[in-house]
Structure formats: structure tokens, C-alpha cells
Copies of this chain bind each other. A is one copy, B any other.
Amino acid sequence: MIYGHVLSTGNEVLLGDIMDTNSAYLCRQLKSCGVTVIKTSAVPDDMAALVREIEDIASTADVCVMTGGLGPTPDDLTTGALAEAAGVETELDTQALASMKKYFDKRGFELDFANQKQAMLPKGSKFIENLHGTAPGFSMTIDKCRFFCMPGVSREMERMFDLKVRSKLNEMTGYVGEIQVIRLMLFGMAESRVGEVLSGFALQFPEIHLGFRIRFPMIEVKLSRLKEVVSDSDEGLDGAKEMNQAKLWVMEKLGDKVISDQGLTLAQEVGRLLTKRGQTLSVAESCTGGLVANLITDVPGASAYFLFSATTYANSAKEAVLKVSRQTLETNGAVDETTALEMAVGVQETGGSDWAVSTTGIAGPSGGTEEKPVGTVCIGVAGPSGSFSQRFILDSGDRERNKQLFAAKALEMLRRELVKN
């Protein structure tokens, strides 16, 4: 058993100014490498506190992944603290300096004196390259514990972990780096209900870990299995078979709430289906205010199938751009199934696309009436062979979350049409 410790440094963590997302990320990664995390901690930018914590960890853990404190400012104490705890000096690491210089040169910046300080690493430590930022990482052993020091910036840290640290941990634990993972994406089921429905899983599949992650308004269900290094190849096959059985078991329980068994979001799945069909999409939005288009265009390559979107807050724009009839607007109002239908058909024509989806509703906090309360949304879908619209009430009590719910519901209605044949 290899025991791990996850250490965050930085005043901003202890002031509660930022959420320490790094630690949760690293706990997950360590687990996937076969390391048992026995403790996480966070200490401020204070030399005495840091050294004390490092010494404590060195005597209790086999491996410590540590984030933050590698920058150029006087508050950045990680290098000095590791050196002090190990009883060594720091010295200029030529590899670290060269790597920083390369990073700066590429961007046309000059290395200044403060930056050069970052290349001073503890004697006997091993430089770890940072391909996505300036702060160099490093690893070193104190007592029985191997420390991996990484930047606090999540993006840089995650990439450094993936490219440089993961393989070292896998070596230590004897696990191979690959995990067999299956990701299912759900929409339209509450998290507590997912837990209930899948409560028998552990008993049925004791070797497979089941985890949830909320990606509001979707939920990702992750099945994972650590493939141990085995010489007997049959065992590997059994593992894959069992994963497949587990996936089928879960999918049966969750029914049509599963929108993707590849971990794709609604927008990604809609994009995949449109690409497969060689068809195009336009969007007409009112209450979602551009969010549907934004979700669609977050997917790289969306320009291949996404043509046009109109966010028509003003009724005059609904008339002028989407050709919604004035009579519909006057008789039924903006938030209405007929209006939604005319919006979808109108934008399909204006955009010249095969498919169209529309939203009109009341995201709140104000604007609700007794007949049409906050959370009311009408969604229209127009396709090559017809169009329809529906009304829903989806209220989360928050404007931004309501927009997200409405947008997801619209994409889900479109997705269901796209998979129909």
C-alpha cells in the first residue's frame, strides 16, 4: 500500500477567497494511480508552518503531491521550505532556467531577476517541466516520502500531473496508468434519485467504483476499474466483460435519462448527431438569451453544422427576424407554444438550416404571473419533416440556473428527434 498526502499552500485558500479545487482533483488522480490518500491539508504562506507540515508529512506518507508557492514573489516559499526541511541549499537548475527562457522567448518576453529565482531548486531535487506556464515544478525525497511540487494554477498543475507525475506514481504503486472508465451522461433525474436507483451497485459489482459528478443540469455517472498489471491476459478480458455488464446494469436502471454513454454533454451529442447526418442547425432564443448558441459553439468544429442564432428579447425582433406573426404575439403573448413554434420555423427559414430549436419563457427573478410563473418555458423544434412545441415549468429558484435548465431541455428535445431515425 502506498500512502499519499495532498498539500495545498497559499493564504488565499485559508482565507476562503478561493475554493481549493486542486485537492479534490489530486485525490481523484492519486486514487486512479493506486495511491491511498490518508490526509489532505492546506497551510498559509508562512515558512515555519510550511516546514513543520513538510516534516510531518515526510514521516507519515510515502508520497506527497503539493501545489502552489512556486511563483516569483516573496510569498512563494515552497522551494525554500522543501530545502530547509531536507537540510539542503537551493541552487540554480540550468534545465529549469532553460525551460523558462524558452517559454518567455516564445512570447517575446524577457526573463527578469524575480523569474530567475524560480529556477533555484533544492539540491538533489529533480526538475519537472511546466509546458503551460512559467513556474517550474520539481520532485525530491525527504525521509521516506517523495514530494512532487507543482504550480497552484489549476490548468498548469493538471497538465503537469498528467504529462509528468502520473507515470512516476504508477511506477511506485505498480499500477499501469490506464484506467478503464465508462462515462454516462444523464439529464432529467435528481442526484438523490440517481443514488437511490443505483444503490445496489456495490453489492453487484464490488470491483468497480461508481461515482457521480454534477455538471449542472446534467449528471455524469462514472464507472471505473483499476486494471492491475496482470500476466494472465484472460483476467484483463474478464475485467472488460464485467465493466460492460456493469454498464448495461446501470443503463437499464437509468432508462431514457441517459443521453450519452460516451460522457458527451447535450451540446456535444447534438453536434455528433448532426455531423453524422450531415445536417445543419439554427436557433431562436428568448429566455435563454444566447446560452443555447453559446453551448453549441463551445464545441470545437461547431461551424460545420451551426449556421445562425437569433436572440430576440424584443417582440419587434421576433417579428422582423423570425417572422413570428403579430397576431400570435398579441393574442398569445411571447411565452407561448404557438410563439415558440413560429420562432423555430422562422429561424429554420432565415438560417436556411435543416433543423431549428427555439426557447421562450420566464427565467426570473421577476416577470412571472399566476398563469405563467417564473420557470415557464415553451420550446419549439423544427425539422426536415415537421415541427412541434411544448410547454414546461422548470424552476430552480435562480435566473442563471433556470437559463441552463431551459437550454438543456431544448437541446434534449432536439436530441430525441435526431436519434429517432
A residues bordering B, Cβ < 8 Å? 12-21, 23-31, 37-44, 46, 49, 53, 71-73, 132, 192, 195, 199, 209, 211-214, 222, 283, 285, 288-294, 296-298, 300-303, 306-314, 316-317, 320-321, 350-352, 363-367, 397, 399-400, 403
Contact = CB atoms under 8 A, between A and B. Distances in A.
Nearest to A396: B155
A21 B23 CA distance: 11
A313 B212 CA distance: 35
A377 to B, nearest CB: 14
B300 A306 contact: no
A192 B292 CA distance: 34
A403 B285 CA distance: 19
B39 A15 contact: no
Contact of A41 (B39, B71, B209, B291): B39
Given A15-B28, A15-B37, A291-B290, A317 B313 contact: no
A39 B27 contact: no
Contacts of A298: 289, 399-400, 403
A26 B42 CA distance: 13
Contacts of A73: 192, 195, 199
A312 B320 contact: no
B313 A308 contact: yes
Nearest to A305: B313
Given A307-B314, A317-B351, A16 B24 contact: yes
Nearest to A307: B314
9 contacts: A14-B40, A16-B25, A16-B37, A38-B49, A39-B53, A297-B363, A297-B403, A298-B400, A310-B310
Given A19-B24, A39-B14, A307-B314, A294 B291 contact: yes
Residue from A26, A44, A213, A293 having most chain B Cβ neighbours under 10 A? A293
A14 B43 contact: no
A327 to B, nearest CB: 21
A43 B49 contact: no
Contacts of A292: 290
Given A297-B311, A308-B310, A211 B12 contact: yes
Contacts of A49: 38-39
B212 A12 contact: yes
Residue from A12, A40, A71, A316 having most chain B Cβ neighbours under 10 A? A40
A289 B300 contact: no
A20 B24 CA distance: 7
A15 B4 CA distance: 11
Given A27-B13, A41-B39, A20 B20 contact: yes
A41 B38 contact: no
B41 A192 contact: no
A307 B14 CA distance: 44
